[in-house]
């Protein structure tokens, strides 16, 4: 069994559920996750057994990705800030911006003013926005025709610059026809 896949699955589960409460001193720890089986929105826990769960939690704690505390004879396991960042890494390459058949007439404009101390993040953000299909209006201004707020702030969180991002919905009369041609909107 691949250790990395189990670690990734465990972190993804924690990111979806926030925390795991398990009685790690009791047998059948993996039964605590039975409610996840068969739900396609969550990781299948069939591959976990009690010793494997304890092993994965221990390794993640050693790496500083999770923290745990004991409360009422139960162990509560949750992601640390470093763990949350690691989960973002798993999804960043899979993110896509939605395209709809019908356009609502509003442009989504993303502005940012990222300090020089975060130049590498700023440059990476620009590249990611271009890769996602956004169009650059100015050095720190991008446009997209469909709602992409969630994806933009996910990417900004990944690069740790969310506080420097502004997301607007507006009409752009002077260059609208040009933008419509660029994005193939009629």
List of domains in the chain: 3-92 (1.10.10.10), 96-183 (3.30.70.240)
Measured CA to CA, the distance from residue 144 to residue 18 in angstroms comes to: 31
- Three-state SS string over 86-154 comes to HHHHHHHHHCCCCCCCCCCCCEEEEEECCCHHHHHHHHHHHHHHHHCCCEEEECCEEEECCCCHHHHHH
- The pTM (predicted TM-score) of the whole model is 0.62
Between the alpha carbon of residue 34 and those of residues 39, 42, 78, the distances in Å are 10, 11, 18
**What local confidence, expressed as pLDDT, does residue 48 receive?**
55
**What local confidence, expressed as pLDDT, does residue 181 receive?**
94
List the chain pLDDT tens, one digit each, 186 residues. 455 556 777 777 676 655 555 544 444 555 555 444 444 444 555 555 566 677 778 888 898 988 887 777 777 788 888 887 777 777 788 889 988 889 999 999 999 999 999 999 999 999 999 999 999 999 999 999 999 999 999 899 888 899 999 999 999 999 999 999 999 998
Question: What is the SS3 assignment for 81?
Answer: helix
Contact 109, 176 (CB under 8 A): no
**What local confidence, expressed as pLDDT, does residue 157 receive?**
87
Helices (H) and strands (E) in the chain, counts: 6, 7
């Amino acid at each position: 069994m691949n250790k990395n896949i189990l670690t990734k699955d465990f972190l993804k589960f924690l990111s979806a559920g926030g925390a795991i409460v398990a009685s790690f001193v009791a047998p059948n720890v993996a039964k605590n996750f039975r409610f996840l089986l068969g739900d396609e929105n969550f990781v299948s826990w069939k591959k976990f057994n009690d010793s494997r769960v304890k092993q994965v939690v221990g390794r993640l704690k050693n790496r500083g990705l999770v923290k745990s505390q004991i409360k009422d004879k139960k162990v509560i396991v949750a992601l640390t800030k470093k763990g949350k960042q690691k989960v973002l890494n798993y999804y960043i390459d899979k993110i896509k911006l939605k395209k709809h058949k019908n356009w609502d007439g509003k442009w989504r404009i993303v502005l940012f003013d990222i300090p020089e101390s975060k130049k590498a993040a700023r440059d990476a953000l620009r590249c990611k926005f271009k890769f996602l299909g956004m169009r650059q209006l100015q050095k720190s201004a991008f446009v997209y025709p469909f709602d992409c707020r969630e994806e933009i702030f996910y990417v900004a969180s990944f690069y740790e610059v969310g506080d420097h991002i502004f997301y607007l919905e507006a009409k752009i009369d002077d260059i609208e026809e040009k933008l419509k041609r660029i994005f193939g909107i009629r």
